[in-house]
Homo-oligomer: A and B are copies of this chain.
Amino acid sequence: MTKSPLFGVDPWAVTQEGWDASLHEAAESLFSLGNGFFGQRAMHEETYSGHSLQGSYVAGVYYPDKTRVGWWKNGYPEYFAKVLNSTDWLDMSWSVNGHTADLAMGPPTQYRRSLNLREGVLTRQWEWITPDGIRLKVDSERWICKARPHLACIRYRITTDKACDLRWVSGLNGQVRNRDANYEEMFWKRGHEGGGERGYVQTATAKLDFEVGVAAEHRWEFLQDRAHSLGDFVPQDWVSRQELNLRLEAGDSVVLNKRVAVLSTLHAPALALQAKAMEVLDEVQSLSHEELRAEQAAAWDSLWKQADIQIEGDPKAQQGIRFNIFHLHQTYNGLDHRLNIGPKGFTGEKYGGSTYWDTEAYCIPFYLGTAPARVARQLLEYRYRQLDKAIANARKLGFKDGAALFPMVTMNGEECHNEWEITFEEIHRNGAMVYAIDQYVRYTGDRSYWWQGGLEVMVGVARFWAQRVHWSELRKAWVMHGVTGPNEYENNVNNNWYTNYLARFCWRYTLGVIDVIRQEQPSYWNQIATQIRWSESEALDWKAKADAIALPSDEVLGIWLQQDGYLEKEQQLASELQSDQRPINQHWSWDRILRSCFIKQADVLQGMMVFEQDFSLDELRRNFEFYEPRTVHESSLSPCVHSVLAARLGMMDKAYEMYLRTSRLDLDDYNREVHEGLHITSMAGTWMSVVMGFGGLRIVDDGLALAPVLPAAWSGYTFQLHWRGANLHFRLNNQGLECLLEGMPSCTLQLYGQSVTLESGQALVIRPSKA
């Protein structure tokens, strides 16, 4: 199953050498840029008439596209929020002696495109010979400023080998569409444009009141004695552009430094947007291109210092993990509670740019480990602020008394998804909200979130579960019918083990937190208990349900059952599938997939990873050996879980195979869909594979435990961890494990089952007892 990389392997870069139009949309995804506030696929700056998925996205700006279904069912949401392709700020066209540069029409004689992961810069170098024989070299770089929320820069140089006439038009274009529009609507309406020394385009969404303003400034570099004319930015319908006409002599170069400010009404009122955009450009007026470039490198350097993972002896593995960490930190920065992480980030339209449970189950641990606590906390706050809508959503489905059901897919807290088996039934997402709070408190030690919003979320969720189960006299247990677990290749099943287990966790965890709050924050408790209409009978109810919820299992096999009746299915192994049948979701009709025993992604095993402290290694092994061979890993969220668990079980080959699959999912295009965008949220799973898998990280009884092991293909690796305000650094190689603590006087943790105390700044080395 190993695949070939689409592009060059390098520890700090992804590089496309040579032009291949068929890979262009894939490259547009892989080379995407972003800074958490806005982002962009790596379209060509200049005219490109070939296939291209245009995508310039502004975080938090969405369009409620009217729901489209074949058969309406009660409870479906009225719209599906979609991330918007917005004003194109690359917008550029140039021609030489009347021949327009367009790689689709005149392919380049040389081509190189490279994403510099260390510094967050995309560069291109290429050469094109015009029909009249003029050889032009292009050298461009661009970045979206990590240190400045609203600024992006382009430096674009053209060099000619012969005298020629250059016409170069650059600016902003607001006349853009989404490829994915249910009714082929234009999502934007025209706002206004500005011209003169700077270009400006403001557009407004056709529904809701979002507006986006984009300003551009050009700094041209060319020999001033060359004949030329340079106009102002000219605003007209939806665009604002400047035109340069320039006589070039042989060997001349001309450079356009383009700076762009991108803002939305999330950051300024519509009427102030233009002025605010100008301010963004004003602020960097005195900075040269090189200074801004250095600032970008410094910002990323600071990030890498906290988040980098080095892998020695395995360039593909190294590139994979850095590529994943890079994109995750391009997508989300924790600076705005209204934002979250779409499954494709700023790299495509699919999944509408909306928030899924991926955030809580995958991204929260990642950001907890690689960034200050405030980043993950912002993600918790996002859900807290949407609690009212989660309660309203549950009410719409017939729940009451403050029960909350967080949406499967959302932009503003309202449900967007519209497949009944997902929207109404894939409710394990609700438990992920509580799991995320627990993770946050464990990693950061910051329990204040419990009484600063967390408890309200927990209670809403626990109440939902309490109403969602019913007593089966037949079974003498609380049962939960009609659910879809994480394995979406089963729909509408009864007693999905993972979901039931999670519900039990939510009840018990919430009751535990309430006990603590009562003790430690009595005045808060008094106030909130009234507000949420708490009654002790509710505690008894949750406890009773937790103690007697159905958890299907098979005694003979000694495994948990994914759901009632799983063993009545025809039992087959994924290895028995013919290769022309895979992925099954592209070859089989839906009913056949549902009837089969094949598992899309970890389900029981997801639960055994999440609640690993509850299970013995033997128990885990039995379940892993049963379920993994039945898993087709057709969700991007699957391989990482299996990598983590396989590493824990010492099945290093399997762990490594799964690691490569998760870390290089997009780089090697395992699912043949990278042209649609990257799997941003599953990238967090790659980090988990290394840190929780090979690193063996566990949080046990509120303390840290690690047991790093070395895959055979690696000569060594390092990783680091944010832990309660401190930073922990680990390096493992054949010489042993080296640990370093920073930012905390000392820290006691379990290493390979032994309690060890690290002192700040002092490296501790553990020599290998076993390899």
Report chain B residues within 8 Å CB of A19: none
State in angstroms the CA–CA spacing of A30 and B180 once bound together. 42
Q: Which of A430-438, A468-476, A675-683, A744-752 contacts B (4 or more CB under 8 A)?
A: A468-476
Q: Which of A44-52, A205-213, A589-597 contacts B (4 or more CB under 8 A)?
A: A589-597
**Pick from B74, B475, B585, B595: contact of A587, CB under 8 Å:** B74
Q: How large is the interface on A (under 10, 10 to 19, 20 to 34, 35 or more residues)?
A: 35 or more
| A345-367 CB contacts (< 8 Å) to partner B | none
Q: Write the A454-484 contact mask toward B (1 if CB under 8 angstroms, else 0).
A: 0000000000000000111011000101100
With contacts A481-B568, A494-B568, A565-B564 taken as known, whether A73 is within 8 angstroms of B590 at the C-beta atoms is yes
Do B591 and A482 touch (CB < 8 A)? yes
Do A492 and B492 touch (CB < 8 A)? yes
**Pick from B479, B482, B569: contact of A594, CB under 8 Å:** B482
Q: Write the A409-453 contact mask toward B (1 if CB under 8 angstroms, else 0).
A: 000000000111100110000000000000000000000000000
Report chain B residues within 8 Å CB of A569: 470, 481
Question: What is the minimal beta-carbon distance from A441 to any residue of chain B, in angstroms?
Answer: 32
Q: Please, which residue of chain B has its CB at the minimum distance from the CB of A569?
A: B481
Q: Write the A105-142 contact mask toward B (1 if CB under 8 angstroms, else 0).
A: 00000000000000000000000000000000000000
**Pick from B68, B425, B567, B594: contact of A68, CB under 8 Å:** B68
Q: Please, which residue of chain B has its CB at the minimum distance from the CB of A469?
A: B570
Q: Does A75 contact B (CB under 8 A)?
A: yes
Q: Does A586 contact B (CB under 8 A)?
A: yes
State in angstroms the CA–CA spacing of A156 and B567 once bound together. 71
Do B492 and A74 touch (CB < 8 A)? no
State in angstroms the CA–CA spacing of A425 and B80 once bound together. 27
With contacts A70-B418, A474-B567, A565-B565 taken as known, whether A398 is within 8 angstroms of B481 at the C-beta atoms is no
Q: Please, which residue of chain B has its CB at the minimum distance from the CB of A492?
A: B492
**Pick from B69, B75, B398, B424: contact of A70, CB under 8 Å:** B69
Do A398 and B69 touch (CB < 8 A)? no
Do B570 and A470 touch (CB < 8 A)? yes
Question: What is the minimal beta-carbon distance from A247 to any residue of chain B, in angstroms?
Answer: 53
Q: Does A756 contact B (CB under 8 A)?
A: no
Q: Does A588 contact B (CB under 8 A)?
A: yes
Report chain B residues within 8 Å CB of A595: 481-482
Count identical subunits in the complex. Answer: 2
Q: Does A397 contact B (CB under 8 A)?
A: yes
Q: Does A396 contact B (CB under 8 A)?
A: yes
Question: What is the minimal beta-carbon distance from A567 to any residue of chain B, in angstroms?
Answer: 6
Report chain B residues within 8 Å CB of A590: 73-75, 420, 424
Q: Write the A265-288 contact mask toward B (1 if CB under 8 angstroms, else 0).
A: 000000000000000000000000
Report chain B residues within 8 Å CB of A482: 591, 594-595
| A576-614 CB contacts (< 8 Å) to partner B | 585-595
Report chain B residues within 8 Å CB of A73: 589-590
Do A591 and B494 touch (CB < 8 A)? no
State in angstroms the CA–CA spacing of A75 and B584 once bound together. 12
Report chain B residues within 8 Å CB of A80: 70
Question: What is the minimal beta-carbon distance from A399 to any residue of chain B, in angstroms?
Answer: 9
Do B70 and A568 touch (CB < 8 A)? no
**Pick from B71, B472, B570: contact of A568, CB under 8 Å:** B472
Q: Please, which residue of chain B has its CB at the minimum distance from the CB of A481?
A: B595
Q: Does A306 contact B (CB under 8 A)?
A: no
| A56-75 CB contacts (< 8 Å) to partner B | 67-71, 73-75
Could you say which of A73, A475, A591 has the most chain B C-beta atoms within 10 Å of its C-beta? A591
Q: Does A93 contact B (CB under 8 A)?
A: no
With contacts A68-B68, A69-B68, A565-B565 taken as known, whether A585 is within 8 angstroms of B472 at the C-beta atoms is no
Q: Does A553 contact B (CB under 8 A)?
A: no
Report chain B residues within 8 Å CB of A479: 568
Q: Does A245 contact B (CB under 8 A)?
A: no
Do A586 and B494 touch (CB < 8 A)? no
Question: What is the minimal beta-carbon distance from A431 to any residue of chain B, in angstroms?
Answer: 17
Do B591 and A420 touch (CB < 8 A)? yes
Question: What is the minimal beta-carbon distance from A64 to any residue of chain B, in angstroms?
Answer: 14
Q: Please, which residue of chain B has its CB at the minimum distance from the CB of A182?
A: B70
State in angstroms the CA–CA spacing of A396 and B592 once bound together. 11
State in angstroms the CA–CA spacing of A459 and B396 once bound together. 47
Do B592 and A398 touch (CB < 8 A)? yes
| A216-250 CB contacts (< 8 Å) to partner B | none
Do B396 and A589 touch (CB < 8 A)? yes
Report chain B residues within 8 Å CB of A570: 470-471
Name 12 extra pairs, CB < 8 A, besides A70-B418, A481-B568, A482-B595: A68-B69, A71-B419, A74-B586, A74-B587, A74-B588, A397-B589, A398-B592, A420-B591, A481-B594, A491-B491, A491-B492, A492-B594
Lowest 5 A-B CB distances belong to which pairs? Answer: A75-B589, A424-B591, A73-B590, A482-B595, A397-B589
Q: Give 29 CB contacts A-B under 8 Å.
A: A68-B68, A68-B69, A69-B69, A69-B70, A70-B70, A70-B418, A71-B418, A71-B419, A73-B589, A74-B586, A74-B588, A74-B589, A75-B591, A396-B589, A397-B589, A397-B591, A398-B588, A420-B590, A421-B492, A424-B590, A424-B592, A471-B570, A474-B567, A481-B569, A482-B591, A482-B595, A491-B492, A492-B492, A492-B594
